[in-house]
Amino acid sequence: MTEKKHVHIPEGYDMNNPPAPPSTMQDFAPFTDDIFESLPPLLREACYKFAEAEERELFLIGALGVISGMLPNVEAMYDSRRVAANLYCFIVGKYGTGKGALLWARALGEAVETYLEEKTQQEAKDHHTRQMLYNRQVKLFDKGKLQEPPTPPDAARNMKLYIPANSSKAAIIQMLKENGGKGIIFETEADTLADIFGQDFGDFSDVLRKAYHHEPISYSRKTNNEFVKIARPALSMVLSGTPDQVKRLLRDIHNGLFSRICFYRLQPRVYFRNPFDDNKNDFEPFFNMQAQQYCALYKKLEALTEPVVFKLRPHQQLSFRKLFEENKIDLHHNISDELEGTANRLGLICYRIAMILTMVRYNTLSGTDYISCTDADYENAIRITQHLLHYSLHVYQQLTPLNVKHPNVAVDNTFDKQELIAQCCACYHNEGLSYRKIAFKIFGSDTYTSKVFTWIMQNCKEKRA
């Protein structure tokens, strides 16, 4: 005889009208539509090829990283130093979250890569001709028919846009030198870089830290008395990887790379993407055409005898200083004084994003010696940077040793999100608590500091006295 099973039904539970399932609380709000609508036309057109908001955001962050490495002869003054537009971007997501849009961002640089390969081939031919002439002159000198010994030709360069991450420190520096100090590291598995950093010969994290601020890089080896120096490197980087890979690469926030990186977090998907979507059949020819337009801009900039100088307008400078001063005070008092480097470099990241947007908008150069930022591009740079700050704080929480967890609430599936937001706002307004203290009070752990920060910034920041 089959044993009967008893099902416990809570008192007051209506079987005919069950409650709605608990809402999943997102750590991050999506980019608003007006960000994409006000992008420069070339970039906006590419972003809108992606119907899904998550893919559109991912592509935009990856594209900014790639384009930042394709703007030679563009510079600006920032904190009394000349800076270029180079960005370091890290897309963080669990396995299976989908990073396909990132590869289309990489495709924007393929025409420049081909152009540099063709230049390399031509330079190799020219070097061969010069080498043959040199060899004949050596023979003439040996026979006493030349008074001065001939000068050997410089070695042919192997130029490329994308620099492989699985290279030794010496190889990275050599490739940068042959590229005129420029290049992009693009790697979809951050483990590749972490593995190299784990080797004595491969740890070039110091190169990344110096290149971010265009500081001189040098390298010497006893073999052949080799000495390589790059006076002003301009390196960009786009990485993607899992949260565990972030920890392997950075280890902690004191690494120095942390504050130099624009982080973006991919959200888990609960649906299966249609692999037979006919709307994506034209992606390859579309992005090939986009790549040609960026290559045309690259060639124009490369041919300039003097760099284009980017500037913010006076009212934008005032707004910029006020905003990032407030950001720094906010992070220091409400999160941690360990984030001073992040607060400082956040301004530089925003400035560089504004440079990129401006150059993409004005891709037909008029020969002027400087170029000003439009209000639309300035506001977009601000909004994108504020989003990136939320993601950086999330990574900060992952890398910072946490206190013992004793959550008061089951954050992901028990409490209503709006109620929790209201509690956070009340603590912020009425009690003047810091984000970390609010996280302890509401959730029982500072694990949720970045979540509290995001909610308050989006829902109740302006109301505090």
Mean pLDDT by 10-residue block, N- to C-terminus, for the chain (465 residues)?
Answer: 45 45 52 93 95 91 97 94 96 76 95 95 88 86 82 86 88 90 91 78 84 90 74 94 86 84 80 66 92 96 92 96 90 80 91 97 70 94 92 83 46 59 83 81 76 78 53
pLDDT at 49: 94
In order, the DSSP letters of 183-236 are EEEEES-HHHHHHHHTSTTT--HHHHHHHHTT--EEEEETGGGEEEEESS-EEE
Specify the residue for token string 């040793």.
401
β-pairing verdict for 370-372 and 261-265 = unpaired
Contact of 26 with 9, CB cutoff 8 Å: no
**Predicted model pTM:** 0.82
pLDDT at 213: 94
Distance CA 240, CA 254 (A): 21
Phi then psi for 264, rounded to 5 degrees?
-140, 135
Q: Which residues of 102-140 are buried (b: 16+ CB within 10 A; e: fewer)?
A: bebbbbbbbbbbebbeeebeebeeebeeeeeeeeebeee
Domain ranges of the chain: 113-265, 406-465
pLDDT at 448: 77
Give 118-177 pLDDT, tens digit per residue: 999 998 888 888 889 888 888 887 888 788 888 888 888 889 999 998 888 888 898 999
Distance CA 188, CA 91 (A): 9
Contact of 161 with 109, CB cutoff 8 Å: yes
Specify the residue for token string 């124009």.
300
pLDDT at 224: 65
